[in-house]
Amino acid sequence: MKMVKIYSTGGCDAATREGSAEIVLECEGKIKYLTFSYSDTTANRCILHGLIDGVNCLKKPCNVELISSCELGVKKAQKGKGVNVDLHQELCGILIKKECEYSFSVMHGEGDILNAFIRKHRTKR
């Protein structure tokens, strides 16, 4: 199976609850940049939605590394708890349905590096 890395970052206006996610899919040296908009959301939900939208782009089973700059409540969600457990369940369900093996990676304290990496690929479109 091919190895695919999906990098996701997101943000949200707390007043309007309008948000967006930017993702980069990386596979065998090829890069694909995508952006998505969401309403009635939070920053963490935008990041999770971005990962979901990225996984939905996969056409074949693969090994997937899901990368963000924050925890996203993964450990709680694995126990069926947490504020975003619905999105975690959706994400994992899609990965299982697509027969993908997956892992979560967190770039602790490296949000600026992740954002710069994604921005670099935004400008190459």
Note the pTM of the prediction, 2 decimals.
0.92
| 63-101 pLDDT per residue, tens | 999 999 888 877 788 788 888 999 999 999 999 999 999
Cβ within 8 Å of residue 106, ≥6 positions away:
67, 68, 69, 70, 71, 72
* CATH for the 2-122 domain, from 3.30.420.10, 3.20.20.70, 3.40.50.300, 3.50.50.60: 3.30.420.10
| 8-64 pLDDT per residue, tens | 999 999 999 999 999 999 999 999 999 999 999 999 999 999 999 999 999 999 999
Asked if 48 contacts 84 with a C-beta cutoff of 8 angstroms, the reply is yes
| DSSP letter string, 35-70 | EEEESS--HHHHHHHHHHHHHHT--S-EEEEEEESS
